[in-house]
Homo-oligomer: A and B are copies of this chain.
Amino acid sequence: MSKPLKIGLAGLGTVGASVVRLLDTHATSLSARCGRPLQLVAVTARSRKDRGIKLDGVRWVDDPVKLATDPEIDVFVELMGGEGDPAKAAVEAALKAGKAVVTANKAMLARHGVAQAKAAEASNVQLAFEAAVAGGIPIVKTLRESLVGNEFSRVYGILNGTCNYILTRMELEGLSFGDCLKDAQRLGYAEADPTFDIEGHDTAQKLAILASLAFGVAVDPEAVYVEGISSIAPEDLRAADELGYRVKLLGVAVKTEQGIEQRVHPTMVPKTSAIAQVMGVTNAVAIDVDAAKEIILVGPGAGGMATASSVISDLADIARGTHVPPFGLPSSQLKPSAKLPMQHHEGGYYIRLLAVDKPGTAAAIAHHLAEEDISLESIVQRRPGSHGGDDPKSASASVPVILVTYATNEDAVRRALAAVVAAGVVAGTPQLIRIEKA
């Protein structure tokens, strides 16, 4: 089999340009390993500016949708991004025209993945997206193929390098969230408008894809509970450290009696766990299954070359004729995703309160927690001023108190805290961070 796999590529940003480079520099090895050359025949991009990449002999096509259905190409690589058109229109046109599709577009897949998988199945072509989640980490193939003989109980991970970079610097340097965000923006780790990353939406889209692959549910970002990291204060990271934890923004998909719980939120994980060791922009995914127990993958979650490595992996699969349903199961067999109410979430909780410094405060807090059957693993209370990071104004009249609960449910914790607040024994809003066993 030496007929080349002919590739049409839409989008020449960092990832697209890196794909062009890898196809060129690794051509001989790829051809040997795939049994046929991987040949870039046509590209499209927003502008024809010089990107320092070799495009000799590669046709320029102005319209992505036209490229997607170009009679010469076998596979359409979509690296434009954005959940809507032109990416969506082009991918759907390619699938309809019987072209295989490779995409890194998590936003589009999270929103339209099931319909697009259906379209791919109808045309009997591949829709592949290793690059859509966790950059260079081969998590899609691992869930979809390597662990196919397992029942999944949980998949969780650090899926957003921006957030992990910010939390790492906050922890190591004692800086505020705002200062770290500014630095991340200056260094190019965060966007000018960072909301999508820091509020957890990027993680939620990736998690929805992982949950679909692991649990056979339809990919649906609306089924994910989302909470970002902007409320995390340096004193939370300090307290976590003292209690033997680290704070990470995790995406967690877990099988419960009610269904598949999908959630993204700042999470305390034991400092000794593998996931807690993952610092900076690095990503990691941990997988709990029945047969292979616990598998953890760590690697670069972004970057042009790392993401391009995953695109090439998909292209190689297509070149060799590998054929797997996009989400592991035929799309008709994916179960509907439902958002589980977080009130039912069960686990331990970290609570940071500013307790009013007057007689009866401790008793009131203890009383309201006991009323909800919440047991405490740790209580840390410091004298005002004994902790450098706290607000000196409030420190005079109130005392920071850290509570760590044993496993309970979110409803109980929320009710107990509401009662504590109503009793007037705390200043401001209590901070609540979920604890995850890892």
Chain A interface (Cβ < 8 Å from any Cβ of B): 18, 22, 26, 29-30, 32-35, 130, 135-138, 141-142, 145-151, 216, 274, 277, 289-300, 303, 305-306, 308-313, 315-317, 320-325, 328-330, 333
Q: Which residue of B lies closest to A317 (CB)?
A: B145
A139 to chain B, nearest CB (A): 9
CB contact between A306 and one of B216, B293, B320 (< 8 Å): that residue: B293
Q: List 8 interface pairs A-B (beta carbons < 8 Å), by A numbering.
A: A22-B291, A136-B291, A136-B295, A141-B141, A141-B145, A149-B308, A277-B277, A296-B298
User: Is A148 in contact with B32, judged by CB distance below 8 angstroms?
Assistant: no
Check A293/B298 contact, CB under 8 A, given A34-B148, A149-B26: no
User: Is A138 in contact with B146, judged by CB distance below 8 angstroms?
Assistant: yes
User: Is A292 in contact with B320, judged by CB distance below 8 angstroms?
Assistant: no
Check A299/B292 contact, CB under 8 A, given A149-B30, A321-B323, A330-B32: yes
CA A317 – CA B274 in complex, angstroms? 30
CA A77 – CA B72 in complex, angstroms? 41
A141 to chain B, nearest CB (A): 5
CA A143 – CA B54 in complex, angstroms? 27
User: Is A148 in contact with B330, judged by CB distance below 8 angstroms?
Assistant: no
- Point out the residues of chain B lying under 8 angstroms from A135, CB to CB: 292
User: Is A148 in contact with B299, judged by CB distance below 8 angstroms?
Assistant: no
User: Is B329 in contact with A33, judged by CB distance below 8 angstroms?
Assistant: yes
User: Is B330 in contact with A295, judged by CB distance below 8 angstroms?
Assistant: no
Q: Which residue of B lies closest to A19 (CB)?
A: B149
User: Is B300 in contact with A297, judged by CB distance below 8 angstroms?
Assistant: no
User: Is B300 in contact with A298, judged by CB distance below 8 angstroms?
Assistant: no
CB contact between A292 and one of B32, B148, B294, B300 (< 8 Å): that residue: B300
CB contact between A148 and one of B33, B137, B293 (< 8 Å): that residue: B33
- Point out the residues of chain B lying under 8 angstroms from A274, CB to CB: 274, 277, 298
Q: Which residue of B lies closest to A141 (CB)?
A: B146
- Point out the residues of chain B lying under 8 angstroms from A137, CB to CB: 292, 295
User: Is A147 in contact with B138, judged by CB distance below 8 angstroms?
Assistant: yes
User: Is B325 in contact with A148, judged by CB distance below 8 angstroms?
Assistant: no
Question: Which residue, of A130, A136, A310, has the highest number of chain B Cβ atoms within 10 A?
Answer: A136
- Point out the residues of chain B lying under 8 angstroms from A141, CB to CB: 138, 141-142, 145-146
User: Is B295 in contact with A138, judged by CB distance below 8 angstroms?
Assistant: yes
User: Is B297 in contact with A296, judged by CB distance below 8 angstroms?
Assistant: yes
CA A30 – CA B149 in complex, angstroms? 7
CA A323 – CA B33 in complex, angstroms? 11
Q: Which residue of B lies closest to A304 (CB)?
A: B291
A79 to chain B, nearest CB (A): 14
- Point out the residues of chain B lying under 8 angstroms from A145, CB to CB: 138, 141, 313, 316-317
User: Is B303 in contact with A151, judged by CB distance below 8 angstroms?
Assistant: no
User: Is B293 in contact with A300, judged by CB distance below 8 angstroms?
Assistant: yes
CA A311 – CA B324 in complex, angstroms? 18
User: Is B313 in contact with A291, judged by CB distance below 8 angstroms?
Assistant: no
Q: Which residue of B lies closest to A316 (CB)?
A: B148
- Point out the residues of chain B lying under 8 angstroms from A216, CB to CB: 29
CB contact between A323 and one of B29, B30, B320 (< 8 Å): that residue: B320
CA A277 – CA B274 in complex, angstroms? 7
Other contacts beyond A149-B309, A292-B309, A293-B305: 13, CB < 8 A: A18-B291, A33-B148, A136-B293, A138-B141, A138-B295, A141-B146, A291-B305, A292-B299, A293-B303, A295-B297, A322-B322, A322-B323, A322-B324
